[in-house]
Amino acid sequence: MKKVSIARAGAYDQLRIVEAAALVPGAGEVRVDVAFAGVNYADCVVRMGLYESAKKYVGWPITPGFEVAGTVGAVGPGVDPTLLGAEVFAVTRFGGYASQVVVPRGQVFARPARLSLAEAAAFPAVHMTAHVALFELAHPRPGERVLVHSAAGGVGSALVQLARSAGCHVTAVVGASAKVAAARALGADEVIDRATEDLWRRAEAISPRGFDVVLDANGVSTLDGSYRHTAPMGRLVVYGFHSMMPRRGGRPDWGKLALDWLRTPRFNPLSLTTTSRSVLAFNLSFLFDRTDLMESGMARLLAALEGGALRAPTITVYPFERVAEAHAALESGRTVGKLVLAM
């Protein structure tokens, strides 16, 4: 088999494709022979050495990747052998940038008829992130006003669609005029183009009392404004800090990181109570032991896909050997939808 191996934190030159022994599934496990692997911004942060769960669960060297699609090549004891040859997608805590992965049976799902294998590889990580943010933490009610940052990206696209399916009024925020049409096509009621508009002035015009749910993976660049524009009894959900990361070059700017860390808002419990606002946060890579969340969340997502509330993700495919180009493109902030690697 072949896989990407990162020996130490660094830029794109650390993404090296190496040969490795074929994987053998253990009891209750499935080996997926990978056709496509999803690329997520978290993978870039892993490469830079800044992803906390990568340090906790793996260390160096590490193979990034949280999601794959392909065919079942082998099963371990206790797994139904009729799965062999089935087209599936799978969720994995790292290791996805490889021609084979081994995962527990509960992390493998039949490829939905509405998705190609390439689209299936782009589905689970961002949609599970969106599901947890919305339905496990924010619990939106029909008619509530929801603000989604980075709405044309992977998680943002899923959030816009899921919030609309919950009957909410959705305001999508994008960082470039070329992404406005994509956000509208997802069903956003309003789109704010940060490239041409004052974000918070327009947000106040759309919802003067604030937003019932704000979903923010930007971090310091918008987090303070997101909190200030959360309505009484509103919920701010934080699931990333992308604005702290570099847009080019692939290496962290340690001075900027330190400054942004100092500038990151600290939320005072006294202020939270007097303003009646809530701040919630999570990182999906620390929640793999919550199989209940995985099972119920994926069932809900697949039902939404089958019912038409979710559409196939917009994808751009890169050959496996061009993994560095995929990382550079994702870090630039110019991409729409999801990127996948073709084995």
Tens-place pLDDT, residues 304-338: 999 999 999 999 999 999 999 999 999 998 899 99
> Is it the case that residue 228 has pLDDT exceeding 90?
yes
Residue 296 is assigned to a structural domain of this protein: no
**Residue 25 belongs to domain with CATH number:** 3.90.180.10
Global confidence as pTM = 0.94
Strand-strand pairing, 2-5 and 108-110: unpaired
Residue 165 shares a structural domain with residue 107: no
pLDDT of residue 248: 82
Residue 132 shares a structural domain with residue 94: no
Residue 170 shares a structural domain with residue 234: yes
Could you tell me the sign of the dihedral formed by the alpha carbons of 44, 49, 53, 57, in that order? positive
Residue 266 shares a structural domain with residue 130: yes
Residue 187 is assigned to a structural domain of this protein: yes
CB 95 within 8 A of CB 17: no
pLDDT of residue 333: 86
Tens-place pLDDT, residues 84-98: 999 999 999 999 999
Residue 300 is assigned to a structural domain of this protein: no
6 Cβ contact partners less than 8 Å away, ≥ 6 residues apart: 14, 15, 16, 46, 47, 60, 61, 62, 63, 64
Residue 302 is assigned to a structural domain of this protein: no
Residue 230 shares a structural domain with residue 249: yes
Residue 152 shares a structural domain with residue 23: no
Residue 291 is assigned to a structural domain of this protein: no
pLDDT of residue 249: 85
Residue 165 to residue 161: CA distance in whole angstroms: 6
Q: Which of 30, 33, 32, 23 is nearest to 105 (CA)?
A: 30
Tens-place pLDDT, residues 166-218: 999 999 999 999 999 999 999 999 999 999 999 999 999 999 999 999 999 99
285 Cβ contact partners less than 8 Å away, ≥ 6 residues apart: 42, 51, 53, 54, 57, 66, 93, 94
pLDDT of residue 151: 96
71: tokens are 């065919």
Domain residues for the domain of 118 are 2-122+313-342
Residue 250 shares a structural domain with residue 223: yes
> Is it the case that residue 40 has pLDDT exceeding 90?
yes
Residue 77 is assigned to a structural domain of this protein: yes
Q: What is the mean pLDDT of the chain?
A: 96
> Is it the case that residue 247 has pLDDT exceeding 90?
no
Tens-place pLDDT, residues 64-116: 999 999 999 999 999 999 999 999 999 999 999 999 999 999 999 999 999 99
pLDDT of residue 124: 96
**Residue 132 belongs to domain with CATH number:** 3.40.50.720
Residue 200 is assigned to a structural domain of this protein: yes
pLDDT of residue 24: 97
Residue 95 to residue 58: CA distance in whole angstroms: 10
State what percent of residues in the chain have pLDDT above 90. Answer: 96
Tell me what percent of the chain is helix, strand and coil, each rounded to the nearest 5: 40, 25, 35
- The SS3 of residue 167 is coil
Say how many domains are in the chain. Answer: 2
pLDDT of residue 342: 98
Residue 243 is assigned to a structural domain of this protein: yes
